[in-house]
């Protein structure tokens, strides 16, 4: 099963992802992939398995090789790191920050093109508002997809719902 969490900017998608990762690991599931966290300078890419962090995007002063998206300069080596993290074996795959870069066929787009749901018991994708249809169009046709809208009202309870969906589907 593929679970997509989507919502407006800063509504709590990454918070939902972090809590899902924590709950799955507490149940002894092997979670691979990545999510991003806010820093004073921009965003860090966090290894979902180890918690190791690398700078992902800066709000200003990026290098000439960086990809520009909105107010951010995204480090291409961090994208490669994310793609490597998402290609590891595990029970569940987590990918955060699918958005306009992927729509432009940049960023983590190669991951969408080569997504293999059968490799995992479940996949969780955090997708920017308005991009979930684009993402759904890029997953294999026989994949089961469930989408949850993250809001201020449900962001505290949604992690439990997402974990239940991933575990229920993987038990089938």
pTM above 0.85, yes or no: yes
In this structure, the number of other CB atoms found within 10 A of the CB of residue 143 comes to 14
- pLDDT tens-digit series, residues 65-111: 888 888 889 999 999 999 999 999 999 999 998 998 999 999 999 99
If you write DSSP's letter for every residue of the chain in order, what string do you get? -EEEEEESTTSSHHHHHHHHHHHHHHTT--EEEEEEEE-SSEEEEEETTT--EEEEEESS---TTSEEETTEEE-HHHHHHHHHHTTS--SEEEEEEESHHHHTT-TTHHHHHT--GGGSSEEEEEEETT-HHHHHTTS-TT--EEEEE--TTTTTTHHHHHHHHHHHHHH-
pLDDT of residue 172: 57
Domains of the chain: 2-36+79-171 (3.40.50.300)
Cα(67)–Cα(167) distance, integer angstroms: 36
pLDDT of residue 50: 96
CA-to-CA dists, residue 122 to 70, 81, 85, angstroms:
30, 21, 16
Residues of the chain with pLDDT under 70: 171-172
């Amino acid at each position: 099963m593929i679970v997509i969490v989507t919502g407006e900017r800063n509504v709590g998608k990454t918070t939902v992802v972090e809590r899902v990762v924590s709950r799955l690991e507490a149940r002894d599931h092997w979670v691979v992939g990545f999510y991003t966290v806010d820093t004073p300078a921009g965003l860090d890419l966090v290894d979902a398995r180890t918690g190791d962090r690398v700078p992902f995007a800066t709000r200003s002063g990026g290098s000439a090789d960086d990809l520009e998206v909105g107010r951010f300069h995204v480090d291409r080596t961090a994208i490669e790191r994310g793609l490597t993290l998402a290609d590891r074996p595990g029970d569940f795959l987590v990918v955060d920050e699918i958005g306009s870069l992927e729509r432009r066929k940049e960023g983590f787009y190669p991951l969408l093109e080569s997504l293999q749901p059968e490799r995992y018991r479940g996949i969780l994708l955090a997708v920017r508002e308005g991009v979930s249809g684009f993402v759904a169009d890029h997953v294999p046709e026989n994949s089961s997809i469930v989408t949850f809208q993250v809001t201020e009202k449900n962001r505290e309870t949604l992690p439990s719902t997402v974990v239940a969906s991933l575990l229920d589907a993987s038990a089938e």
